[in-house]
Amino acid sequence: MRPTAPRILLLAFSWLSTAPACAGDALASWHEGKAKQAIVDFVRRTTTPGGRDFVPPEERIAVFDFDGTLTAEQPVYGQVAFCADELRPGQENGKRFSPDPLVRRIQALPLERLNDLSYAETGRLWALGMSGASADAVRGKVRRWFVSAEHPTLRKPRSALLYEPMLEVLRLLQSRGFRVFIVTGTLSDYLRAISERCLGVPMENVIGSQLRRRWSGQPPHEVEREPEFGDLVNGAAKVLEIDRRIGLRPLMAFGNSDGDLDMLTQATSGPRPGLGVLVRHDDAAREFAYDRASPVGALDQGLDLAGPRGWQLVSMKKDWRAVWGNCAHTDSKATVWTAY
């Protein structure tokens, strides 16, 4: 077959899209160093055809934790702050659930003290804060909150509290044929509201915790979210969900707390190449400094295991030239953003 003109264009484009990118420049917010080098080298090794560690595109899976890995998680998770805001006295869910003693208690607590809630109480906080509206309506609420509610100490909206160096990693991997998944304890419904526009990750690539659901089969034929927490996706549950949803061992896993260690272990075991990366919060000046004893995002066992397991510890202070990145699309595509 003689190549036709469109065919030549196609071939040319194929070449362009598979030509080795200058991966170093793609991580401009990273200082040169061991961590950056490990990421860049791993991507090069696994995507260079003919190399010993080459992995075909269909098997290039990378998984990322969300809170503390892609965005600030102190003093409380974004999901917690959002739900507490939804349960304030003037808000729809605040009014609806006001007879509930837990809701009255939440309304009286300062934000940081929400970390004192038990596991079951936190599950109920999420369930009551997120329930009552259709999935579409919940997405709209999360989006408005995400671009407007101010972080209590950093004084920026959540959409400006993403980690620029990690956004660069997401983009680098996607440009090299990796499919990127967010595997998070936060509710899928919350994160899916912003994953496509802020992270470039499609909704179905969010693997998060869930509220219980019900399908009655009756009009209006909507899946209802019940005000009841289902399963938390953390620790071993992250590994099991990755296996259920994707069915492949990831090549790369990025996390920041002990809840991510199973996922890093999964990615860095077995015959294929694997890279595990832990973000270390050691930058009190620009973000926060915390590790072993933190009530949120504790990194304890991970600090001990990183060496023996060959995981990369990323120092926010030393490895990151810049910290803060913005949700890319909130301004220019505001119409579509709220059109759900």
Interaction between residue 188 and a second copy (CB under 8 A) = yes
**Binding test (CB under 8 A) with a second copy, winner from 65, 67, 168, 189:** 189
Residues 6+ apart with CB under 8 A from 80: 114, 122, 125, 126
> Residue 167: which of 312, 329, 27, 330 has the closest Cα?
27
Which x/- pattern, by CB under 8 A, does the window 275-314 give for a second copy? ----------------------------------------
Q: Extract the runs of DSSP E, i.e. beta strands, from 87-158.
A: none
Residues 6+ apart with CB under 8 A from 340: 136, 139, 140
- Contact window for a second copy (CB under 8 A) among 2-10, 43-51, 142-150, 163-171: 2-10
Contact 112/74 with Cβ under 8 angstroms? no
- Cβ 230 to a second copy shortest distance, Å: 9
Nearer to a second copy, 12 or 120 (CB): 12
The span from the CA of 214 to the CA of 269, in Å, is 38
**Binding test (CB under 8 A) with a second copy, winner from 38, 133, 149, 248:** 248
Interaction between residue 144 and a second copy (CB under 8 A) = no
The span from the CA of 209 to the CA of 207, in Å, is 7
The span from the CA of 54 to the CA of 271, in Å, is 12
Cα angle 142, 144, 147; round to 5: 100
- Contact window for a second copy (CB under 8 A) among 28-36, 56-64, 280-288, 300-308: 56-64
- Cβ 138 to a second copy shortest distance, Å: 10
Backbone angles phi, psi at 84, to 5 degrees: -60, -40
How many residues sit close enough to a second copy to count as binding (CB under 8 A)? 48
Interaction between residue 108 and a second copy (CB under 8 A) = no
Contact 73/281 with Cβ under 8 angstroms? no
Interaction between residue 49 and a second copy (CB under 8 A) = no
- Contact window for a second copy (CB under 8 A) among 87-95, 122-130, 234-242, 277-285: 234-242
Contacting positions for a second copy (CB under 8 A): 6, 9-10, 12-13, 16, 56, 58-59, 135, 179, 181, 188-189, 192, 196, 202-206, 210, 213, 215, 217, 219-223, 236, 239-240, 243-249, 262, 265-266, 269-270, 336, 339-340
